[in-house]
């Protein structure tokens, strides 16, 4: 039974520590970012996959060689 009281006290101390750290961060304006949201739309998303120059697959599933212009089925 005494172990439960020790665990409750320790958990309250840890919770109070996290609360103090959070309040300290808010007081020091660490969560104030007025620049990034306004320019986020200007950044590109991940680049789409590009087709290699040596071969491409058309909508019929055929491999088209860009060098020779021939097609072959796989």
Residue pLDDT, tens place only, 13-62: 999 999 999 999 999 888 777 777 777 777 777 666 665 555 556 666 66
* Domain boundaries of the chain, sorted by first residue: 1-32
> What pLDDT is attached to residue 43?
76
Question: Residue 65's closest CA among 53, 73, 74?
Answer: 53
- Residue 59 exposure: Cα atoms within 13 Å on the Cβ side: 0
CA distances from 45 to 34, 36, 39, 48, 49 (A): 21, 15, 13, 9, 12
Distance CA 65, CA 72 (A): 8
pLDDT of 1-25, one tens digit each?
A: 899 999 999 999 999 999 999 999 9
> What pLDDT is attached to residue 61?
60
pTM, full prediction? 0.44
Indicate the SS3 state at residue 22: helix
> What pLDDT is attached to residue 70?
52
């Amino acid at each position: 039974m005494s172990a439960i009281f020790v665990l409750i006290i320790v958990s309250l101390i840890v919770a109070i520590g996290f609360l103090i750290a959070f309040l300290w961060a808010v007081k020091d304006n660490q969560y104030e970012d007025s620049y990034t949201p306004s320019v986020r739309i200007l950044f590109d998303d991940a680049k789409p996959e590009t087709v290699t120059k040596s071969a491409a697959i058309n909508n019929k599933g055929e491999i088209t060689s860009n060098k020779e212009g021939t097609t072959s089925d796989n």
